[in-house]
Amino acid sequence: MTDKIQIEVVNRRTFVLGASAAAALVALAPLGSTPASAKAWGDYLKEAIKGATPVEGKVKIDLPEIAENGNTVPYKVNVESPMSDADHVTDVHVYATGNPGPQVISAKFTPMSGKAYVKGRMRLAKTQEIVAVAQMSNGKVYMGKTTVKVTIGGCGG
Amino acid sequence: MAKPRVKVPKKAKVGDIVEIKSMIGHKMETGLRKNKKTGKAIPRKIINSLVVTFAGKELFSAILYPSVSANPYVAFNLKVPGSGDVVFTWTEDGGKTTTAKKTITAA
């Protein structure tokens, strides 16, 4: 009789643990806090553009003003360019300045792309500024920014 | 890696700019999450790159970082130069790859 009760208790406990583990997966939780050694987004940007000075303009980055769920925030980057062989966008880098790992995506385009456009979904830890930087085939660098309010962070916030 | 889902128009006119959408099922484990029971960090495992070619030439490629959401979705454009195959290759940390292929017939 007592044996039976014990088994039941154990079963319930394992069930609860399993359920919480599953819940953690679904919530896709913590990116954790920023490690002290983490590089700031500006350092990554400098590495990527190798000394060029980014000029504001030409790059349009669209995100919702308020993101309720930081786990998947849709973004859209559009860069003004004729996308011809002589003059096209070669790279677009997106940085989430307040994330523990600020790099989001580095996309490479070719004149075959027709339009320098990329769309996707990112994780956002907290309310922050998102920066998109475009490198042109002639060496010029342009950038665009936007701010997103995040209600529930996708990185443990 | 789960089965990829890609959306490519079957037919297009030469010179048209078409949108190509891709998505692949993947947890995109950031490497910063901790196992709640043991307190150990769960190792990073993400899809770190997507390369897309059209008719054998590189069309678009992207390096993905842990800040990309789970089940990474990436959409981009193609200015149709003629008929050809669009080939997608995703690479996971550790080097495992998954590919998908779709054909565009130019009118």
Kindly list the residues from chain B whose CB atom is less than 8 angstroms away from the CB atom of residue A99: 67
Residues A74 and A145 both lie in one domain: yes
Residues A135 and A63 both lie in one domain: yes
Residues A18 and A61 both lie in one domain: no
Residues A85 and A54 both lie in one domain: yes
pLDDT (average), residues A103-124: 95
Residue B53 has pLDDT above 90, yes or no: yes
What CATH code is carried by the domain that includes residue A75?
A: 2.60.40.2470
Indicate the residue type of A144. G
Rounded percentage of chain B residues whose pLDDT exceeds 90 = 86
Whether B71 and B23 have beta carbons less than 8 Å apart is answered as yes
Distance between B61 CA and the closest CA of chain A, angstroms: 5
Residues A108 and A57 both lie in one domain: yes
Residue A3 has pLDDT above 60, yes or no: no
Confidence band, pLDDT 50/70/90 cuts, at residue A52: confident
CB of B79 less than 8 A from some CB of A:
yes
Residue A155 has pLDDT above 90, yes or no: no
Kindly state the DSSP code that residue B42 receives in the 8-state scheme.
P
Residues A19 and A54 both lie in one domain: no
pLDDT (average), residues A16-22: 48
CB of B30 less than 8 A from some CB of A:
yes
**A35 in a structural domain:** no
Q: Which chain A residue is nearest to residue B76, measuring alpha carbons?
A: A118
* Closest Cβ–Cβ partner in B69, B78, B79 for A72: B69
**A25 in a structural domain:** yes
Number of domains in chain A: 2
Rounded percentage of chain A residues whose pLDDT exceeds 70 = 74
**A36 in a structural domain:** no
Cross-strand pairs, A118: A77, B76
Query: Are B67 and A30 a contacting pair at CB < 8 A?
Result: no
* Closest Cβ–Cβ partner in B33, B68, B77 for A105: B68
Residue A74 has pLDDT above 60, yes or no: yes
Range of the domain at A47: 41-152
CB of B40 less than 8 A from some CB of A:
no
Kindly list the residues from chain B whose CB atom is less than 8 angstroms away from the CB atom of residue A28: 27, 70
The more confident residue out of A36 and B19 is: B19
Q: Which fold has domain B4-106?
A: Immunoglobulin-like (2.60.40)
Residue A13 has pLDDT above 70, yes or no: no
Query: Are A106 and B62 a contacting pair at CB < 8 A?
Result: yes
CB of A105 less than 8 A from some CB of B:
yes
Query: Are B70 and A96 a contacting pair at CB < 8 A?
Result: no
Distance between A81 CA and the closest CA of chain B, angstroms: 13
Query: Are A21 and B37 a contacting pair at CB < 8 A?
Result: yes
Query: Are A120 and B81 a contacting pair at CB < 8 A?
Result: no
The more confident residue out of A51 and A80 is: A80
Alpha-carbon distance A9 to A23, whole Å? 21
Residue A116 has pLDDT above 70, yes or no: yes
ipTM, two decimals, is 0.90
pLDDT (average), residues B38-43: 90
Alpha-carbon distance A101 to A129, whole Å? 14
Is the torsion defined by CA of B9, B56, B64, A20 positive or negative?
positive
pLDDT at residue B64, as a whole number: 96
Residue B41 has pLDDT above 70, yes or no: yes
CB of A78 less than 8 A from some CB of B:
no
Alpha-carbon distance B80 to A114, whole Å? 8
**A129 in a structural domain:** yes
CB neighbour list of residue B19: distance below 8 Å, 6 or more residues apart: B75, B76, B77
Report the SS3 class of residue A156.
Answer: coil
Mean pLDDT estimate for chain B: 94
CB of A30 less than 8 A from some CB of B:
yes
Q: How many CB atoms lie within 10 A of CB A138?
A: 9
pLDDT (average), residues B14-38: 92
The more confident residue out of A157 and A58 is: A58
pLDDT at residue A42, as a whole number: 87
pLDDT (average), residues B66-86: 95
Kindly list the residues from chain B whose CB atom is less than 8 angstroms away from the CB atom of residue A108: 58, 60-62
Kindly state the DSSP code that residue A4 receives in the 8-state scheme.
H
Residues A82 and A148 both lie in one domain: yes
Residues A3 and A45 both lie in one domain: no
Percent of residues in chain B assigned helix, strand, coil, to nearest 5: 0, 55, 45
Helix (H) or strand (E) holding A20: helix A2-27
